Chain A
Amino acid sequence: MMQPLDTMFLALLIVIAVAALEAGDLLAAVILFGAFSFFSATFYALVGALDVAFTEAALGAVIATVFFVSAIRRSSKAARKRAR
């Protein structure tokens, strides 16, 4: 059983994941990862797992993004270049 909306969100998830991989900048990759979390939260809400969606939206899209940005801010320029 597969709704067209579910298919759309799953395809969107893969597209965002690939875009995060191909982003030239670590900060852009982190923001795309936040978008990935947001859309997976929407997908969870669509299939009826509201509690999971809530946790994913709060933890994955907000807190994890802040942690990643803080980590990028602390990493050295050399490490940032190597990650590209």
Chain B
Amino acid sequence: MRSLSWIAVLFTGVVLFYTAPSLPPIGDPESPASSHVSPYYIENSVSDMATPNLVTTVVTDYRGYDTLGETTVIMTAGLACLLILGFWTPMRRHPTETDRLSFGSPVLDAAARLLVPYILLFALYVLFHGHHSPGGGFQGGTLLAAGVILVRLVRGRDCGWGVDREQAVRLACSGAFLYYAVGLITMLMGHLFLDYSKLPLPLTAAMRRNMGILGVEIGVTVAVAGTMILIFDCLHATPHEDREAEVSAERAGAEGHT
């Protein structure tokens, strides 16, 4: 098995070194990637939807169906983790001392208190500034989830603003639903699915598409954050049998003290 892994790593490494030099230079107008649809995106992105970050416009507007599928796949992956791993771990539990302070230490506690607000603020910045700078729904959602997971690692499973497994499922599903809802609104207005320029907003067509992108990005953020917290919760929860041993050990410890 070990030798097989070695072969895989070295083969991939050789392929990497062999193919990386033949990548076209960045910004080469003759390269295949920039000679078909890219010129249209580059010329029309700003006038179409007032969004300078081309990656955001391509991901959420020009190729919006792909991202809709990705969001659904992420949500489904989280639900699959819940189906497989959630079977061995209890959904609702009575908290014990170890839950409240799982990694508890004053240094970690102080560091988390300092970091978490900035992580959450940065997540929102990444989400709402995704139109103008690298970032957007997927990155923002991951950072939001990272903030919550950090709190739960340091302060124990009962902290993290009450985002338990049920809430995480709700977040993941409602985020994906928000994406579909934007598309359904445009369909209800009698136009194509996910045609943001037909959203019922009192704005110019470009700004309506801009707002449509924002709505979709918020949906992706909520879905990704919910899914990440859900998977973490499933992986991190203590299985039933270990749990019983833990509780009885704690009881024995408490009796020993008194």
Interface size on B, residues (CB 8 A): 35
| Chain A residues within 8 Å of B135, by CB | 51, 54
| Chain B residues within 8 Å of A54, by CB | 126, 134-135, 139
B124 at the interface (CB under 8 A from A): no
- Bound Cα distance A7, B17 (Å): 8
Min CB gap B11→A, angstroms: 11
Q: Is the CB of B235 within 8 A of A55?
A: no
The count of A-to-B residue pairs whose CB atoms sit within 8 angstroms is 73
Q: Is the CB of B145 within 8 A of A63?
A: yes
Name the contact of A62 in the complex, choosing from B5, B23, B142 (C-beta under 8 A): B142
Interface size on A, residues (CB 8 A): 27
What string of 1s and 0s marks CB contacts (under 8 Å) between B1-12 and chain A? 010011001101
- Bound Cα distance A53, B5 (Å): 26
Q: Is the CB of B21 within 8 A of A2?
A: yes
Q: Is the CB of B232 within 8 A of A67?
A: yes
- Bound Cα distance A72, B106 (Å): 25
User: Beyond A10-B13, A67-B232: 12 further Cβ-contacts under 8 Å?
Assistant: A1-B24, A1-B25, A2-B20, A10-B16, A10-B20, A21-B5, A21-B6, A51-B55, A62-B142, A63-B228, A66-B232, A71-B235
Residues of B with Cβ closer than 8 Å to A?
2, 5-6, 9-10, 12-13, 16-17, 20-21, 23-26, 55, 126, 134-136, 138-139, 142-143, 145-146, 149, 153, 228, 231-232, 235-236, 238-239
